[in-house]
Every structure is written in structure tokens, then in C-alpha cells.
A and B are shown apart, each in its own frame.
Chain A
Amino acid sequence: MKRIVTATVHNRSGVLNRVTGLLAKRQFNIESISVGRTETDGVSKMTFVVDVEDDRKLEQLTKQLNKQIDVLKVSDITDKAIVARELAMVKVISNPQIRSEIQGIIEPFRASIIDVSKESVTVQVTGKSDKVDALIDLLRPYGIKELARTGLTAFTRGHQPQVAEFKSYSLLK
């Protein structure tokens, strides 16, 4: 099962290595990691999308992360009401003729063209991972020259609905 786990960490040298090394050592499958600074000086936030077998494995993952001295807080937010986004850049083979066709495809995704050359356009899209997936699938027939994704970053919404409603907001399950 896929889970979204966030960790706030002390922004010290080596902390990323600690965390990824730990996950590798314990044989967890990481689908994506994104890291960046937060509102607090010296504190960074990591968002992991992980694929775990069962609840026990998941519990191990959060507990092992929590054990790290530089890790301040770990949360599995998969079943919470969350906002989650990732950004992807897709360089698509295109000539001037099909450029407008691509324009038409990406518009409903509120994606934009951020670079144009004679043989290609680069599309930038932001959103939930499944939306990014969907757009990439649509662009694939044109020929994707290069693709880069940031990995998901997420946090909980300002308002959390009642427990019973959580599941419907789940993003990745």
C-alpha cells in the first residue's frame, strides 16, 4: 500500500543521508522524496511516498524515523485531509504545427509551456500525482525527450473533517 509520510527534521548536514540510509537499510521502498525548508529556521520538511506491505511495516517505518535524533516529528498523513502537490517538467518533441495541439491538451490541466525550441516544448504541470500521471500519458504519444518530477510534497488541510470522512479524501490508497 502506498502511504504519504512527512517528517520534520533538523536541517543539519547529513540528515538526508541518515533518513534515506535508514529506509534503505530496513528495505523500505521509497517512491519519492521531496525536501525543503519550512517556516521555522533550521527545520526542513521531508515528504515521502512509500510502498509498504502492511501496517506493521508502516509502523516500523515511522518508529525508525522517529528514533533518529535529528528527526523532530513523523506523521503518516495518508488518511487525513491533505493538500498534496508535485511538479513535473516534460520536454515533448514538437514542431510548430503540433504545438497548438499540445497547447490544447495541457490546458484543462492548467499546465503551461515554459520553454520552446525548434524541436520541442517544455510543459510544466503541478498537481496531485495522478493528475501529473494523466497528463504525461497524454503527452507520451508525441515523444517525451526528458521528464523530471519533484516528488510529492504535502501537508494537512487547515480544517480536518470528522474521522469517518477521512477515507474519501485519501489520495493514494
Chain B
Amino acid sequence: MKAQASAEQQTATKTGADLLVEALIGQGVETLFGYPGGAVLPIYDALYRAEGSFDHILPRHEQGAIHAAEGYARVSGKAGVVIGTSGPGATNLVTGIADAMMDSIPLVVFTGQVAKGVIGTDAFQESDIMGITTPITKHNYQVQDIEDLPRIVNEAFHIATTGRPGPVVVDIPKDISSTVYEKQVNHEFHLPGYQPNLKPNPLQISKLHDALIVAKKPVVLAGAGVIHAEASEQLKTFVQNYQLPVTTTLLGLGSYPGSCDLSLGMAGMHGTYSANMALYECDLLINIGSRFDDRLTGNLKHFAPNATVAHVDIDPAEIGKNIPTQIPIVSDAKAALEALNTKPVKGLQHKGWMEAISQNKVDYPLWHDLPEEAIVPQWLMQKVYQYTDGEAVVTTDVGQHQMWAAQYYHFDRPNRWVTSGGLGTMGYGFPAAIGAQLADMDSTCVAVVGDGGFQMTLQELSVLQERKLPVKVLIVNNQALGMVRQWQEKFYSERYSESIIDVQPDFVKLAESYQVPGYKIETQEELLQVLPKVLADDQPAVIDCRVLQKENVYPMIAPGKGLHEMIGVKR
């Protein structure tokens, strides 16, 4: 009786926003990334009253919030939780939602909405965020009834984090978050239309096993699916058992140790020669959790032309989407690898292939110039790798620096590499590092950014200042939109249209105005002096590292070309 009475007392004062807060606590949410505004005032009031329940990060732009949530999700493996107000707050989140959709990042995004009664009247700060986000979310909801709110929150987390992860938007009209609700609510959900298939079909596993035993030129392509499924150990065992060469996608870096002998590094547009040639020449391609993105495959006509293709993916729609697949395995990567690892290994026939691949690695390594004094970005990345013992969490923005980081930082563990792959979102790298650092306070977190992209979201330096977060922002400063410049050099006869930007803020002073230590590095000697110290201390930093503008990312597959038609393979 007593318990009942107190429960009633509690419910008597609960608003929809309180129900939301309770549901978030129930989901084990610890960190929120959000920005207040009119339509979420009731939610922010509930958060105020629930003080101590969450660490709320206030970015200086909603885009900063959502990229931080993505970085947090990528490193923690948990859903990133975002709150934005209606109208402009919600539309400012759109880029991040689309980014998370492309890269399968679990996010639960709460947007405020105008009161139900005025939806559809072009009310102040109304936007049709359901309509806007339907094509770029795994699912979205507009809460119509306060009773549904806790159930919808639970569904949203379930959908965002299971199967192929992705962003889920929950749009909450202001009257719903502010209404007082006194009855008990139902938290249970049932989703008959959403039943991800987790276990592989044994028949297909046997088919793959049979194919492995007769393959003369097998190769494994590991994607982010391995990381989402936490299947790196199983992948290692599998690869070790069969002595298979492994290449990864851009997002799959770290799924298999990059410094292992069997690793060929990254494949694709700026992948290594040995990786791309292995994909081109193989007779058995085992794709585990990658979606055969066009930046990986190059011209589809020339992609693995002689291969039997096996594809493990939890999303059946990815199998056969771009590449005809003979051995489709709809499954969680871990379950599929575990099933494969129970099969006996015998009579492998690809010794010659391994020798040829090893020779390729030796004959066609990544290369770059090394001038007397000036810094080339490839060398810079090697130094970052060296000074952080390969143990840092590295986030990047989008552009040349992203590719150099991918090429030269060898990730030996999953969840250390945070980059925007599918959408290629400039402005992603720095806020993502804030979230990544919050998810792992013990690691050094380096945001490798371009001078262009950093300027899209640099206002988040305020968060470093406020939180004393020791994120190291490394600006690979080529005073250019380098990736654009490179394409203009190669494919538009050096007509550098709007890509050389020599007007910049003084990044050191800029950092200092946020009370973040700033450093400018212009020579190799300065770098050797400054970088190890800065990367090792427990302070935030902005490092303006001047690099040679004319450097290009090589090797490269030109647009429309096949994997075997790389340029810039040798000096």
C-alpha cells in the first residue's frame, strides 16, 4: 500500500518530458548532446530537475552536437543521444543524421516540435522534420499521444542499436512534453516488422567453407560491420586459421590489426596497390560487413572479375545490391565467423597467392617525397602514429588529410578510428573528437582536420575550453581545399577554381582566445620538438601544422577506372 501511494505521488507531477527523462535513464543513457530552444523548453526543464542524471554537452551549433554524438557512438559502441529544438534546431541536425545513416551509426535524436494543435499551420519554428528525415533515418516517430512516449523511446533505442545500426528521430510536440500525465504508462514494445536475422544459414556457411578449401586466390574484405558486431577476435581467428590476406574498407580500419603481416591495408580509391590488386585478381572474395561502396569498388565492370563472391551482411538489402553474390550470408558478422570457425581447416591451396601478395607489398609500398625542411602530410601522419604508439583515438575531417591518416595510421584495434565515410561530411572531424574523447577519457584523442573543414565547426573549441577536454586538434594546413585542388590538378588541367585559400585566421590566436593552447609548426625540426610533447600532455591543443600544398594523395583510382588501373603507384 505504501509503495503504491508513493508511486502515485510521483506520477502526479510528471510531465511528458519527465517520462522522457525516465525512459532515457532506463536506457542507461549517461551523456546527452543537445541545444535548447522554445519547443524543447519542457524537456530542458525536466533535465534541470533531473540534475545529476546525465552529462549534458552543450555544443555551439547543433551540427556540433550530432557529430559529437556520432563520435561518442563510434567509440563507446552505445547509441549517441541528441536533443534539438524544432525548426532550425532540427534542420541543423540534418547533415549529421544523413551522415549517421550512411555510416550505420546508432543515434537517437530527439527534436522538439510545435504543439500538436498547430502542426501544419506554418507555426513559428515549425518544420516538417518527419518529412525531411524519412529518407535519411532508419526510422522516425512523431509522438502523437503522451502514453506512447516511453514505448517509443524504447523502440527508438532498440531500432537504432540492433540489426544494422542507424539514426532514429523522435519528434516530440511541445504540448506532449509539457502535459502532466498521471496514469501508468506502457513501456513494452512489439515490432513484428523488424526482426533482424542474426544467425547465418548453415548451408551458406558450408558453401563458403567449401569455397575456401578450393580457393587459389582468396581475400577477405573487412568492413565496419565487423566492428559493429564486435567480431574482431573472431575475424583474427578465422584469418589466422586459413592464412588469408585481409584488406579493409575506410570505415573498416581497425577491424583487423593494420600492422599484422596478413593485413594489406585499406582498399579502394586511395587504397594500397597490394590490396586493390588482391581484390582485382582474387578467385574468392569474402566480404564481411562492407557494402561495396563505389569508392571501394571503382568501376564495377573491373571489380573482382574472376571471383566467387561471398558476402556476410546483417542487412539483406546490401547483398547483391552492387555486386552479384554467389554465397549470400545474411547474418551478424560475429555469428557468421563463429560458425565458420567451428569448421575444420584443411588442404589450403593458396600458398603461391600469398607469396605474390607479399611481393606486391614489398614492391609497391606507399610512397612520398621527403623534402629537406618542409613537412609533407604523409610524414606528419607517420609521426602522429609514432608519438601516440598507434594507440590514439583518431578522428578526421574529410579531404586529403583523411586519406593520409587512413593510409599511415595503422589501427590495431577497433573503435579507435572515427571518420565520415559515406557522406563525406566536412566539419565532422573536430566535433566527432569531442564525443570520442568523452567516450574514452583515458586515451589520447587526435582530431586530424583540414584547414578548410576545421573552419566549418571550429566554434566547438568552446566545449574544449568549458570541459577542459584534452582533444588534440591537428590542422593539416595546406592552405587549400586540398582534395578539390588535387582533382582540379589531375582532371581539370590545373584550373584551381575556388580551392586555394590563403586567407585564414591565425589559428594559434584563435585557439588562445578559447584558452586552448595553440601551436604553429612549419618545419620538420619544429615538429620533432613540439609534437611529441603536445601529444603527450593532458591539455587540449590546436596545432597548426603547415604542410606542402602541392602534395597529392596516391596511389589513386581515377573516376570511372577499375581497381587495376591505379595511378601514382610508384614515385
Please indicate whether A and B come from the same complex rather than being unrelated chains.
yes
A25/B135 in contact, CB under 8 A:
yes
Asked if A134 lies at the interface with its beta carbon under 8 angstroms from chain B, I say no
Are B193 and A59 closer than 8 Å at their CB atoms? no
Whether the pair A69, B135 counts as a contact (CB closer than 8 A) is no
Cα A62 to Cα B200 in complex, Å, equals: 20
**Could you say which of B135, B193, B317 contacts A71, with CB atoms under 8 Å apart?**
B193
The segment from A14-22, A79-87, A97-105, A147-155 that touches chain B is A14-22
On whether the beta carbons of B320 and A59 are closer than 8 Å, the reply is yes
Q: Does B183 contact A (CB under 8 A)?
A: no
The reply to whether B315 and A67 contact each other, CB–CB distance below 8 Å, is yes
- In the docked arrangement, what's the CA distance between A22 and B101, Å? 14
CA distance A66 to B144 in the complex (A): 25
Q: Is A160 an interface residue (CB 8 A)?
A: no
B321 touches A72 (CB 8 A): no
Q: Which of A10, A14, A25, A64 contacts B193 (CB 8 A)?
A: A10
Residues of chain B contacted by A14 (CB below 8 angstroms)? 130, 134, 142
Known contacts A10-B193, A69-B159; A17 and B324 CB within 8 A of each other: no
Q: Are B317 and A69 in contact (CB under 8 A)?
A: no
Indicate whether A69 sits within 8 Å of B321 (C-beta atoms), given known contacts A17-B131, A18-B134, A63-B316: no
Q: What is the interface size of chain A, counting residues whose CB is below 8 A from a CB of the partner?
A: 21
Instruction: Please measure, in the bound complex, the distance between the C-alpha atom of A14 and the C-alpha atom of B135, giving whole angstroms.
Output: 12
Of B131, B139, B159, B324, the contact of A56 (CB 8 Å cutoff): B324
A159–B134 Cα distance when bound, in Å, is: 39
- List chain B residues, Cβ under 8 A from A17: 131, 134
Judge whether A60 is part of the interface by a CB distance below 8 angstroms: yes
Question: How many A-B Cβ pairs are below 8 Å?
Answer: 38
Number of interface residues of B (CB under 8 A): 19
Closest to B316 in A: A63
Q: Judging by beta carbons under 8 Å apart, are A70 and B193 in contact?
A: yes
B228 vs chain A, min Cβ distance (A)? 16
Cα–Cα distance between A80 and B198 once the two chains are bound (Å): 30
Interface positions of B from 134 to 177, Cβ below 8 Å from A: 134-135, 138-139, 142, 144, 159
Query: A59 to chain B: which residues have CB within 8 Å?
Result: 320
Interface: B3 (CB within 8 A): no
Bound form: Cα–Cα A68–B194 in Å: 8
Q: Which residues of B188-212 are within 8 A (CB) of A?
A: 191-194
Please, which residue of chain A has its CB at the minimum distance from the CB of B319?
A63
Q: How far is the CA of A18 from the CA of B139 in the complex (A)?
A: 9
Query: Within B75-94, which residues are at the interface with A (CB < 8 Å)?
Result: none
CA separation between A13 and B134, bound complex, in Å? 12
Within 8 A of B (CB), among A26-67: 56, 59-60, 63-64, 66-67
Please judge, given known A-B contacts A69-B139, A69-B159, whether A56 and B320 are in contact too, CB under 8 Å.
yes
Q: How far is the CA of A107 from the CA of B149 in the complex (A)?
A: 56
30 A–B contacts, CB within 8 A, in A order: A9-B193, A10-B193, A13-B142, A13-B144, A14-B134, A14-B142, A17-B131, A17-B134, A18-B134, A21-B134, A56-B320, A56-B324, A59-B320, A60-B317, A60-B320, A60-B321, A63-B316, A64-B317, A66-B317, A67-B315, A67-B317, A69-B138, A69-B139, A69-B159, A69-B191, A69-B193, A69-B194, A70-B193, A71-B193, A72-B192
CB-CB nearest 5 A-B residue pairs: A63-B317, A69-B139, A72-B193, A69-B194, A25-B135
* B interface residues, Cβ below 8 angstroms from A: 130-131, 134-135, 138-139, 142, 144, 159, 191-194, 315-317, 320-321, 324
Chain A residues within 8 Å of B, Cβ to Cβ: 9-10, 13-14, 17-18, 21-22, 25, 56, 59-60, 63-64, 66-72
